[in-house]
């Protein structure tokens, strides 16, 4: 009953809030070579639009790469030297819009919004002038210069598939043994509970790992999605995520006694959040605050950040250690919970 009436409401709310294509508080940095009244006026206009937040002022073009790699800042605005002077005298001045395009949809929107603001400003200052001034925006997409959406889908699909194969299959297969009564026999046998669990989990560990290899391989050879960072690190992180998903599967199986319950739990507790709240398709930073908070407990959210960083930005562990630690913590927590549940059942 709860599922029948609760699910539609939850889904409606989720979809309604999650699927918004508006920008909100995009973190922006500025590299202003000119520092005149025009550039500061433009920056003011952009910030007061509400779509962008100025978080940093850079002094050197070499800092741009570093800034993007950290992952917080999504846009950098670069004003050329003597921007203001050129705008008046030469009537043409250029500004560069650099975006982190590891999320292509967002990058596109950011560029459109910025161009819109620049255009409006341009119209404003041209009012009553005979020779119109022109601000020429030039855009450059970092990490995904052709704005291919496959760059976004490969990490997302990887997270979804690994979650599905590992968590869902494990939970269903353990629940199945419980349902059929074979689990009882195994528990009475000299096998230790740990051996039973390992036996159930190992096949899915191998399967999922092969899946991860295949996804990265197809992404690379068919769609040209690069692996800029260390391949070994990528696979280690994937393995960590698989372990996490497996322990989640074990946990689900300890709370469900039939295959059906395990299936329902996996579908609603794993599938939907993985797709909606992980930042796979819908950017997290556009969501309402409560959903953003909920998204923190969704493992794929962190995993997607990690693989995007490694594959598209080529960063090493030094930029993803925080996310990695979160995944490790979640895995340990889930294993602990499952062991506790298991013991309670024995007593």
Partner 1 sequence: MNTDKKVISVRNLYKKFGAFTANDDLSFDVYKGEIFGFLGANGAGKTTAMKILCGLSYPTSGEIMVAGLDVYKQREELKKNIGYMSQKFSLYEDLTVFENIRFYAGIYGMSSKEIKAKADELLQKLGLVHARNKRIGELPLGWKQKLAFSVAIFHNPEIVFLDEPTGGVDPVTRRQFWDLIYEASRDGITVFVTTHYMDEAEYCDRISIMVDGRIEALDTPEKLKTQFKAKDMDEVFLLLARKSNYQE
- Alpha-carbon distance of 322 to 198, in angstroms, equals 28
Residue 184 lies near partner 1 (rule: CB under 8 A)? yes
Residue 37 lies near partner 1 (rule: CB under 8 A)? no
Residue 191 lies near partner 1 (rule: CB under 8 A)? yes
Residue of the chain from 13, 88, 123, 185 that contacts partner 1 (CB under 8 A):
185
Cβ-based nearer residue to partner 1, 157 or 187: 187
Residue 344 lies near partner 1 (rule: CB under 8 A)? no
How does 248-268 read in b/e, with b if 16+ C-beta sit within 10 Å?
bbbbbbbebeebebbbebbee
Residue 258 lies near partner 1 (rule: CB under 8 A)? no
In the complex, the smallest distance separating the C-beta of residue 179 from partner 1, rounded to whole angstroms, is 8
Compute φ and ψ for 58, nearest 5 degrees.
Answer: -95, 160
- Alpha-carbon distance of 50 to 47, in angstroms, equals 6
Please choose, from the candidates 161, 160, 143, the residue with its C-alpha nearest in 3D space to the C-alpha of residue 315. Answer: 143
Residue 240 lies near partner 1 (rule: CB under 8 A)? no
Residue 194 lies near partner 1 (rule: CB under 8 A)? no
Cβ-based nearer residue to partner 1, 187 or 339: 187
Residue 260 lies near partner 1 (rule: CB under 8 A)? no
Residue of the chain from 190, 221, 222, 318 that contacts partner 1 (CB under 8 A):
190
Question: Residue written as tokens 């997607």?
Answer: 304
In the complex, the smallest distance separating the C-beta of residue 19 from partner 1, rounded to whole angstroms, is 42
What does the DSSP 8-state code read for residue 136?
E
Chain CA centroid to CA 144, Å: 15
Residue 48 lies near partner 1 (rule: CB under 8 A)? no
Residue 340 lies near partner 1 (rule: CB under 8 A)? no
| Contact predicate 328/240, CB 8 Å | yes
Residue 181 lies near partner 1 (rule: CB under 8 A)? yes
Residue of the chain from 10, 12, 180, 218 that contacts partner 1 (CB under 8 A):
180
Q: Beta strands 52-58 and 92-100: pairing type?
A: unpaired
Q: How many residues sit in the footprint of partner 1 (CB under 8 A)?
A: 14
Q: Where are the alpha helices (DSSP H) in 51-168?
A: 63-70, 83-88, 104-126, 150-163
Residue 187 lies near partner 1 (rule: CB under 8 A)? yes
Instruction: List interacting residues with partner 1 (CB under 8 A).
Output: 180-182, 184-192, 346-347
């Amino acid at each position: 009953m709860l599922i029948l009436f609760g699910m539609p409401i939850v889904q409606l709310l989720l979809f309604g809030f999650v699927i918004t294509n508006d920008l909100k508080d995009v973190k922006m940095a500025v590299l202003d070579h000119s520092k005149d009244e025009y550039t500061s006026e433009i920056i003011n206009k952009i910030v007061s639009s509400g779509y962008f937040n100025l978080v940093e002022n850079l002094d050197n073009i070499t800092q741009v790469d570093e800034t993007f790699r950290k992952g917080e800042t999504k846009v950098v605005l670069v004003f050329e030297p003597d921007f203001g002077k050129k705008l008046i005298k030469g009537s043409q001045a250029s500004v560069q819009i650099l975006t982190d395009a590891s999320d292509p949809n967002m990058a596109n929107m950011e560029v459109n919004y910025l161009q819109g603001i620049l255009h409006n400003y341009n119209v404003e200052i041209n009012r009553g002038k005979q020779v119109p001034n022109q601000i020429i925006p030039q855009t450059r997409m970092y990490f995904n210069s052709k704005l291919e959406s496959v760059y976004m889908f490969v990490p997302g699909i990887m997270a979804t598939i690994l979650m599905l194969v590992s968590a869902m299959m494990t939970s269903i297969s353990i629940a199945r043994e419980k349902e059929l009564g074979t689990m009882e026999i195994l528990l009475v046998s000299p096998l230790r509970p740990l051996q039973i669990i390992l036996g159930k989990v190992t096949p899915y560990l191998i399967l999922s790992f092969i899946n991860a290899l295949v996804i990265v391989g197809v992404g690379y050879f068919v769609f040209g999605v690069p692996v800029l960072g260390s391949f070994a690190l990528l696979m280690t992180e994937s393995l960590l995520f698989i372990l996490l998903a497996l322990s989640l599967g074990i946990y689900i199986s300890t709370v469900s006694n039939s295959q059906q319950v395990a299936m329902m739990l996996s579908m609603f507790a794993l599938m939907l959040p993985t797709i909606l709240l992980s930042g796979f398709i819908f950017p997290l930073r556009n969501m309402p605050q409560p959903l953003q908070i909920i998204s923190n407990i969704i493992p794929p959210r962190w995993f997607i950040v990690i693989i995007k960083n490694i594959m598209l930005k080529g960063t090493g562990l030094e930029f993803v250690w925080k996310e990695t630690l979160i995944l490790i913590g979640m895995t340990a927590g889930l294993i602990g919970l499952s062991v506790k549940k298991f013991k309670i059942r024995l007593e």
